[in-house]
Amino acid sequence: MKSLKIFIALVAVASLSSCNNKRKPQVQYMPDMYVSVPYDANGVRSAGDVPVNRLPVAGTVSRNGVVAYDILDTNEGYEKAKAELKNPLPQTEANLEKGKELYGIYCATCHGKKGDGNGVLSQRDKFSGIPKYNDPARNITEGSIYHVIMYGRNNMGSHASQLNYKERWQVVQYVEKLKSELK
């Protein structure tokens, strides 16, 4: 009974002092009800001294739109991709449309809308050495385009983090279209 009285008195004091004066910090009784104590599993070890926050099993492949690319960033890798790597997406208007949109965002500033190497950055002399997609000396293929998006090439940086697997191949499809239309 005594503790109940104290509790009621506390509630009364708390409600009086906390609500009226907006300039003072409010009294918070029973803070555990407002601020939970999260259980931090990081670094915790379970029975048998096994870490709780275990890493995924070696070789685990994320299914979150990520597809592994196992061709290396070497000259041999480039040639292999150029010769063997094929676009897994079907040729559709929808893929081409999406590729065009992404190309406009990520590539056209340098390569130009038509893929002639004459984008805004090239016109303003910010970037040089941007090739035309139909440059016979380069002879780009669907595989080499994908490879270059993944790793970049010389002055061109990698675009692997801006585009996911499907988007890269959609861009490849669009670049091939531009290449075929260049004279």
Name residue 30's amino acid. M
Closer residue to ligand HEC (CB): 89 or 149:
149
Rounded to a whole number of angstroms, the minimum distance from the CB of residue 164 to ligand HEC is: 12
Closest C-alpha to 91, from 183, 173, 175, 8: 173
The answer to the question of residue 111 lying near ligand HEC (CB under 6 A) is yes
Structure tokens at 169: 């191949």
Rounded to a whole number of angstroms, the minimum distance from the CB of residue 71 to ligand HEC is: 14
Cβ pair 81, 145 in contact under 8 A: no
Residue 112 backbone zone (phi > 0: left; psi -120 to 50: alpha; other: beta): left
User: Judged by CB under 6 A, which stretch of 21-29, 30-38, 53-61, 136-144 contacts ligand HEC?
Assistant: 136-144
Structure tokens at 71: 């061709």
Closer residue to ligand HEC (CB): 14 or 177:
177
Rounded to a whole number of angstroms, the minimum distance from the CB of residue 57 to ligand HEC is: 33
Closest C-alpha to 104, from 94, 113, 95: 113
Q: Which of 113, 114, 138, 166 binds ligand HEC (CB under 6 A)?
A: 138
Cβ pair 119, 111 in contact under 8 A: yes
Q: Which of 107, 112, 151, 176 binds ligand HEC (CB under 6 A)?
A: 107
**Which residues of the shown chain bind ligand HEC in the complex (CB under 6 A)?**
106-107, 109-111, 121, 127, 129-131, 138, 140, 144-145, 148-149, 153-156, 159, 171, 175
